Amino acid sequence: MALLGLLYTILVMFAYQGHHIVENVRTVFRIFVPMILYFIIMWGGAFALVFWLSRREGDKGVFGYEMAVVQAFTAGSNNFVCYVSARSESS
């Protein structure tokens, strides 16, 4: 239920602020494009590193595909938390 509530909240926020997003497309892309590139680079790099380490260590079961995916999403999501915190402090 909490996940559905969060999704509903995000949809409502974007629905109410949609006209601001459309009016400021250039600013939105100036923020959006670097963040997406960061996510892709961090996700791919973390996934490749952890997956490579799992293959290098052999079948010891320490790492693996599942751990690589978890670590990749963790590495990719760190920028979004820092960005939101920085914007909150500067406001």
Give 47: exposed, middle or buried? Use CB within 10 Å, 0-12, 13-18, 19+: buried
23: helix, coil or strand? Answer: helix
pTM exceeds 0.85, yes or no: no
pLDDT at 79: 58
What digits encode the pLDDT tens for the residues 39-69? 899 889 989 988 888 877 565 656 788 888 8
User: Which amino acid is present at 88?
Assistant: S
pLDDT at 76: 82
- At 86, the pLDDT band (50, 70, 90 cuts) reads low
Residues 75 and 45 sit within 8 Å (Cβ to Cβ): yes
Rounded to whole angstroms, the Cα distance separating 16 from 9 reads 11
